[in-house]
Structures are given as C-alpha cells and as structure tokens.
A = this chain, B = another copy of it.
Amino acid sequence: MKKNKPKYMQIIDAAVVVIAENGYHSAQVSKIAKQAGVADGTIYLYFKNKEDILISLFQEKMGNFVEKIEEKIAGKDTAAEKLLMMVEAHFRMLSKDRHLAIVTQLELRQSNKDLRLKINEVLKGYLKVIDDILIEGKENGEFSSTLDIRLARQMIFGTMDETVTSWVMNEQKYDLTALSSSVHHLLLNGCKG
C-alpha cells in the first residue's frame, strides 16, 4: 500500500508546506519535489498527477481528522457534549497545524471544481459524524423533533468553517480554541429550538 512507502507521506507533507508558504498557484510540482528531497519524476511514481497529490493530501489529513474526532466523542453520553467535543477537536487540530489550516481553509479552495467535488467526497465522512450526533439528539429529545438534519448539518459545518476561515484570514492572531464554547452554545441553541 502506498502509505507504507515513506516517500508517499514525505511528498504530501512537502506539498502542505509548499502550498502554505507559496500559495496554491505557486506550488509547482518541482517545488514540492525539492521540498520533499526527491526528483520531479519521482513524484509520478507515487501519484498519478498533480491533482492526485492534492486529493491524497486531503484524504490523509482529513481521514486522520475524522478518526480523532470519533475517538473524542466516543465516550460522551449526550449529543450536546459530543457537539462540544467535535467543535473543540476541530478548532484544536487546525490550531496546532498552522500550515494545514492555511492549506485547507484558503489555498485548496482555489482548486478547480473537479478537485473540489472530490474533496467533498472526502468530507462526507465528516458530515456523517455530524449527522449521527444530530440524529442522536433528535431521538433522545435533546434537539427539536422538527429539526431538518441537512440544514442543521449545513449550519454546523458552515459556522465552524466560517469561524476557522476568519481566524486564518486574520493571520491566526487570536486563540481559536477559546471560541469553542461560544460557538457550541450558538449551535446548540439552533438545534434545540
């Protein structure tokens, strides 16, 4: 499997650094190769093309993301608690990796529609986690019985995403994780009503 080859992750990590520091449009394959310490041609032994690097990047980093969030919420009893854990984990993980935050919130959004559709495929795993929390909340009476799952999910994801993007665009000047509780409060009210 690809992942077991050390150069695979080496190239993905190089891509994160190069894209974060140079921007999406200045992230040439040759720059990524140089950062990874391999020849240009070597990239193509591990990835089909440039787009494949970016999709793989997102898959590896977001797959990791979903796994960690699932761990965090596993032991919690209420949907409200799970929602809090999720917001906290989401904000904490992006806070910890400044390069990754820039890449996912700003740079990768400059990719074309095709790539973004594939990224959305990857995101579905995350949206599933949100949906599961919402369903649990509806079933156990924490959330409104009339709650529209899809809309609530869009509110939750849209709000977290907009919050992180604002933070990145403000050059990560303030503490993102400190906002978890307030954001959770807002979202919870939305779902309860």
Contact = CB atoms under 8 A, between A and B. Distances in A.
A127 B154 CA distance: 19
Contact of A154 (B23, B116, B162): B162
Given A158-B163, A187-B155, A110 B107 contact: no
A166 interface: yes
Contacts of A148: 179, 182, 186
Chain A residues touching B, majority SS? helix
A78 interface: no
Given A158-B159, A161-B162, A162-B161, A186 B113 contact: no
17 contacts: A23-B113, A25-B112, A106-B116, A110-B110, A110-B111, A110-B113, A117-B169, A151-B182, A151-B183, A154-B163, A155-B155, A155-B158, A155-B187, A158-B159, A185-B193, A190-B193, A193-B193
